[in-house]
Structure 1
Amino acid sequence: MWTGQISNFRDLGGRITSDGALVVPGRLFRSAQLTGLPEEAAKELEDLGIHAVYDFRTAQERSRFPDTPINGAKNIWLNVLSDDMGSLAASLQPVFEDPRRASHELSTDRIRDLYLGVYRNLVSLPSALAAYGAFFRSLLAQPETPRLFHCVAGKDRTGWAAEVFLSLLGVSREEILEDYLLSNNQLIAAYKPMVEAFATAGGDPEIMENLLLVYPEYLDSAFSELSREYGSVPAYFADGLGIGEAEQAALITAYTLR
């Protein structure tokens, strides 16, 4: 599959669940934002049969960096962080554009603390619950049609959607963490020119790299918040996202092969 110019792109399928089922390949894809895609990259997504593109970004992010349209795919906006517009995850671009200020105001520890809060909010914010509930519920309609979901870098809002869904399907935490951490190599490679420009403009490249990287403790923070608020992944889907037991069973049946 040719995906070299689609940042942080991968198929959510192909992993084996704890009871030996296969997460169906070719159904769900994750990526960073689809801004400025070259024609061949857009054609690749069209050839995959992408039926819908779910955009988890804010209105400002969408306005400044609109997705490249994909023929045959509808764009569905689900604003995960509308209740936390100041979130670090929703303000990466402005931070990248002011290297000196970012380097002055941020440190490795500060970035870590901010991201831990981001991941707790991905579980508990009303806007996040509404957006993720709508996303997962929509997967029940024509589940055989391929879809793609993304945010800006495809690592936080997108990462939580991917990993909690894999958890519902029965994929082990070790496999989930492996998928989550794949973002690191992809993003550092994709953003290398921007990191270099950030440094040239007087910014600390380590700060930008830490803004781009994901760490196991971030994902742990989200799952800990889920356990504290709901007790289990099925309860989070039922009580937080409004997706009951029967719908959960339907999702598992639709997106796994036994």
Structure 2
Amino acid sequence: MLASVPNFRDIGGYDAHGQRKVRHGRVYRSSQLSRLSAADAERVRSLGIKATIDLRSERERAAQPTPAALRMPADYLSPKPDTDFIFNRIFAQTERTGQAWAQAFGAFYGYMLDAYAIELVAMFHAIADDSLPVLIHCSAGKDRTGAASALLLDLLGVARADIMGDYLRSSALLDGDTHFKNMLSDAKLDLYAALPDACRRVMLGTDLAYLDSLFATLDDQFGSAAGYLAHHGFNSADIDHIVMTLTEPMTKPAIAD
């Protein structure tokens, strides 16, 4: 969608529950926006985005700041100072091989439902409050943003096969982005910068097993995405409003005379 930020995209268009489809132009997902060209920045402004859910830590935002012209009063910024807590809990004791890190990365996806609950709840509140369109992003736009997008699409009744396909698109969109491939060191995340290449490839990629881990945790602990929202204080009217706001009836094919 954007030449300078290839992982920016609309999550609309998927079939949802009850003969409905996810509306276009309501929710966008992306990587960080510090490298937007002037033309792409104007294109983002034209979308009329009212709120951004920035899942990055304070440290990441300082390293790669969002252009001031794209900041909105309703923006939500994650309060996490850095991502060291991820490394310390999930990766610090993990053998530095690709296989071990892939297993740890799956554990991280399951952990995100708890570790990023504040941010995920803020995203759903923005939607429930009609602060739309909303933009969800992190640094690469594939892991934290991938988890947030997956949880949202699951709530709307999108088939998990479609959710998985949307998630995997990040790897294809980011494949030719040399800035993304250098992103860990560019963001001065020194805990990650010295990793072996096999481990860095895990961190820079997507895998269905990771999202499977998130869904397994969701199903086991909350039963469903709606159960997750209910656990965090949303009532059935809130949930119904989110679903109806983000979906629309499928267009019936015209009947030939």
TM range (shorter): 0.7 to 0.9
Q: Give the equivalent residue in structure 1 for 2:107.
A: 117
What is the TM-score when the length of structure 1 is the normalising length? 0.82
Aligned partner of 1:129 in structure 2 is: 117
2:97 touches 2:198 (CA, 8 Å); kept in 1?
no
Kept after mapping to 1: 8 A contact 2:96/2:196 = no
The 8 Å contact of residues 126 and 134 in structure 2, kept in 1 or not, is answered as no
Question: Residues of 2 paired with 1:193 and 1:249: CA distance?
Answer: 37
| Aligned mates of 1:15, 1:78 — CA distance in 2 | 28
1:79: how far off? 2.1
Query: Residue in 1 aligned with 2:217?
Result: 225
Q: CA offsets, 1:72-111, max 9 Å, x none?
A: 734623427669633159xxxxxxxxxxxxxxx7321132
Check 1:157–1:194 CA distance in 2 against 1; reply closer, same or farther (3 A cut): closer
Unaligned segments of structure 1, at least 5 residues: 90-104
Q: Quick one: distance in 2 between partners of 1:18 and 1:77?
A: 28
Give a deviation string over 1:7-28, Cα, whole Å, max 9, x none.
3111011111143211010111
Q: Say if 1:87 and 1:120 are closer, same or farther in 2 by CA, change over 3 A.
A: same
Q: Does 1:254 align with 2:245?
A: yes
Give the Å deviation of 1:176: 0.7
What is the total number of aligned residue pairs between the two structures? 239
Whether contact under 8 Å (2:53, 2:119) holds in the other structure is no
Other-structure match for 1:142: 130
Deviation at 1:151, TM superposition (A): 0.6
Distance of 1:243 and 1:207 partners within structure 2: 38
- Native 8 Å contact 1:88 1:115 kept in 2: no
Aligned to 1:257, what secondary structure does the other structure show? strand
Determine the C-alpha separation between the residues in 2 that align with 1:205 and 1:136. Answer: 36
The answer to whether the Cα contact below 8 Å between 1:6 and 1:34 also exists between their aligned partners in 2 is yes
Check conservation: 1:140, 1:251, Cα contact below 8 A.
yes
Q: Check the 8 A contact 1:54/1:148 in 2, yes or no.
A: yes
Q: Pick from 204, 208, 225: which aligns with 1:212?
A: 204
The alignment's TM-score, normalised by the length of structure 2, stands at: 0.82
CA drift of 1:51 comes to 1.7
Separation in 2 of the partners of 1:118 and 1:185?
22
CA distance 1:88–1:16, shift in 2 (3 Å): farther
In the TM superposition, residue 36 of structure 1 has moved relative to its aligned partner by 2.7
- 2:234 is aligned, of 226, 243, 246, to 243
Kindly state the Cα deviation for residue 59 of structure 1 after the two structures are TM-superposed: 1.1
The 2-side partners of 1:210 and 1:64 are apart by 22
Structure 1 runs of 4+ off > 6 angstroms? none
SS at match of 2:175: helix
Q: Secondary structure at the match of 1:148?
A: strand
Equivalent residue, structure 2, for 1:4: 3
Aligned-residue CA RMSD (Å) = 3.1
For 1:189, what is the secondary structure of its paired residue? coil
Overall identity of the aligned pairs, in %: 29
Distance 1:176 1:129, change over 3 A: same
